[in-house]
Chain A
């Protein structure tokens, strides 16, 4: 592993660069194909509303994958991520327009663990509301 960030660079409270991305309907189609998750609530407005959703929503794992990017980009080697867990609390509704939904990811070092492992806690919001009630990565640094 050759992470760009070393253990010497981090302390509890170290902040990761903020990451802002946008998710459009086209992104949902692309992610559906790549992940093989073709659940209709991620592309069909009619069905999404029929099952009680406010509209087409992003795949939870697309949100989680975008959030993980903030960690891998910071750490330099995605292979340094040894554990990643998320809890979905609010759907990201993706409007049928060119702008899509905004997703903001902030992260900070929350704990220094044993064996050079570091826990990163992420805060992931869309339109100011938290969409993941928990998003936590453990990275192995040297």
Chain B
């Protein structure tokens, strides 16, 4: 089923606040096998000019995956998640995600396309502090492979 072009521009209510924890950042860095002290040691992070430990450049996926669920679960989108693969991903950092940040995620639909029976859905998630400071914009393109 082709996605409705009228979905472009639809935006969803902001998420609950997500508090970025030092332990979660360290867990994520460990899952990437990354020993960088700026992900674990507040003293090292401060020496590098950050207020606390910072997150790896792809950490925002933790928040954007959850925020993107509202799009995939939208009955008007009607995407078959069992046939979905990740096509593209982009992170634009306005500043590093930092331990202690209290972030709100707002999802919206940036683009829909159908190519050769495959549906492509581009979702944007804006991450900002609860006070409204922009922190990171993530863009995810999902491909729902057409039934062969």
**Could you tell me which A residues sit within 8 Å of B by CB distance?**
1-2, 21, 27, 30-31, 33-37, 51-52, 60-62, 64-66, 68-69, 71-73, 77-79, 81-88, 91, 134, 137
Q: Which residue in chain B gives the minimum CB-CB distance to A50? A: B82
Is A78's CB under 8 angstroms from B39's CB? yes
Stretch in B9-17, B88-96, B103-111, B124-132 touching the partner: B88-96
Is B48's CB under 8 angstroms from A79's CB? yes
B86 contacts partner chain A, Cβ-Cβ < 8 Å: yes
**A86 to B140, alpha carbons, bound, how many Å?**
10
Our pick among B56, B62, B89, B91 for the contact of A36 (Cβ within 8 Å) is: B62
Is B86's CB under 8 angstroms from A65's CB? no
B73 contacts partner chain A, Cβ-Cβ < 8 Å: no
Our pick among A30, A66, A69, A83 for the contact of B91 (Cβ within 8 Å) is: A83
* Shortest 3 CB-CB contacts between residues of A and residues of B: A34-B31, A85-B90, A79-B96
Our pick among A64, A66, A79 for the contact of B38 (Cβ within 8 Å) is: A79
Is A2's CB under 8 angstroms from B48's CB? yes
Q: Which residue in chain A gives the minimum CB-CB distance to B48? A: A2
Categorize the interface residue count of chain B: 35 or more
Note all chain A residues with C-beta closer than 8 A to B48.
1-2, 77, 79
Is A35's CB under 8 angstroms from B62's CB? yes
Is B49's CB under 8 angstroms from A2's CB? yes
Is B31's CB under 8 angstroms from A78's CB? no
26 A/B residue pairs, CB under 8 Å, sorted by A = A2-B48, A34-B30, A34-B31, A35-B28, A35-B61, A36-B62, A37-B65, A51-B83, A60-B85, A65-B58, A69-B32, A69-B56, A72-B34, A77-B38, A77-B48, A79-B96, A82-B92, A83-B90, A83-B92, A84-B58, A84-B93, A85-B139, A86-B88, A86-B89, A88-B86, A88-B87
Note all chain A residues with C-beta closer than 8 A to B54.
78-79
